[in-house]
Amino acid sequence: MGSGYFQRVWWHHDCPEDPVVLWSHVVDGWEVRKVDEFAEGRLAWADDEHETETTGLGQVPVPPPDEIAADPQFTVALVDAEAFEQVWRRARGDV
């Protein structure tokens, strides 16, 4: 799948309709899988075959993690594949 990484981005805001944690599997600069985590615990996921009303893959390349982290409304952490896979399975109901 090319060069990829996994990231978790905390989005600091007060809007209950928006997710508070954005999980992404990024390959060659593009989201290939994504999970949005909402404050009340709901998870919504997307990949190239599935999206929801609130969660879809980005239509433009993902900025590098350090560029995202430069915006004070975001806190970025690179995570390992297992951390991403755990939330991915939970979001899809595969647990």
Contact 35, 51 (CB under 8 A): no
Question: What's the number of domains the chain is made of?
Answer: 1
Instruction: Please give the residue range of the domain that contains residue 77.
Output: 4-92
- Supply the pTM of this predicted model: 0.93
Look at 95 and 82; give whichever has higher pLDDT: 82
Encoded tokens for 25: 């599997």
The pLDDT tens digits for 9-33 are: 999 999 989 999 999 999 999 999 9
HSE (side-chain half, CA atoms, 13 Å) at 15: 7
